[in-house]
Amino acid sequence: MDSRRKSARLTGWYVISLRPVGQHAAPRRAAAAHGARLFACSPLRLAAVPDDGALAAALAAPRVIFTSPAAVRFAAAQARLGPRAGARWYAVGAGTAAALRRAGVAGVMAPTRMDSEGLLALPGLDSVAGLDVGLVTAPGGRGTIAATLTRRGARVRVARVYRREAVRLTAATRARLAALPPPRAVLVSSGEAFAGFWSQLDARQQRTLATAVFVASSERLAAMLRGHGLRRVLVADSARPRALLERLAAHAATTAFG
């Protein structure tokens, strides 16, 4: 397949992004690379949490984990990030690892399986009894990581550097969403974002959108989508927009009508 044919695999598709306010640039580029049009629909926005000293304690730990690119961005606005003797830095996925490298942290470890379970299987996080482990995150996120590390005997130093705030979808946004012609796809990389989005649709809008393809960034999110009665669910390799769009494009290449 030549590059021009590849770039047009999603021509005619509308891709719905549920990223937080101001975070749609990467999925827009990924959609455009495949010939699709992106509809930005943000049920959340991100806001900084004032530093109460928890970040310094987390960054001083011999193991430091970041759970998202946003965690890196908000932490870097409060403290200098960089290499430190004896410290090991971990990221839950490739996007977070790239953000850490841009912030000046080299030698970041990230799992091939880009989720909490993959992270927790990395070397250095299996034997943490008696160690401090810093966890830089947001309220309500990645609870599995802290709970598992605590069971392994670690003292988890949690720094919640940002929070997610709900955004009301306007009537105009919901009307435009309902009017999008098929084929359509919804990118789902956050259970909280999906819940905030889906709960704002009325029953008719939900039935209409249920015919779309939903692209989940993990098996856990795919199971959640199926639990809402959605049947056209795909699972991508990661939450990176490029991976989500590649999975959708592979599906479209083998399905005549999306």
Q: What does the pLDDT look like over 213-239, one tens digit per residue?
A: 999 998 989 999 999 999 999 999 888
Report domain extents, the chain: 3-43+168-254, 47-164
Class of domain 47-164: alpha beta
Report pLDDT digits (tens) over 69-105: 999 999 999 999 988 888 999 999 888 999 999 999 9
pLDDT greater than 50 at residue 35? yes
User: In this structure, which CATH number among 3.40.50.2300, 3.40.50.2000, 3.40.50.10090, 3.30.300.30 belongs to the domain 3-43+168-254?
Assistant: 3.40.50.10090
Contacts within 8 Å (CB) and 24+ apart, 23-30? 23/70, 26/240, 26/241, 26/242, 27/187, 27/241, 27/244, 27/245, 29/241, 30/241, 30/242, 30/244, 30/245
Q: Supply 50's token pair.
A: 């004032």
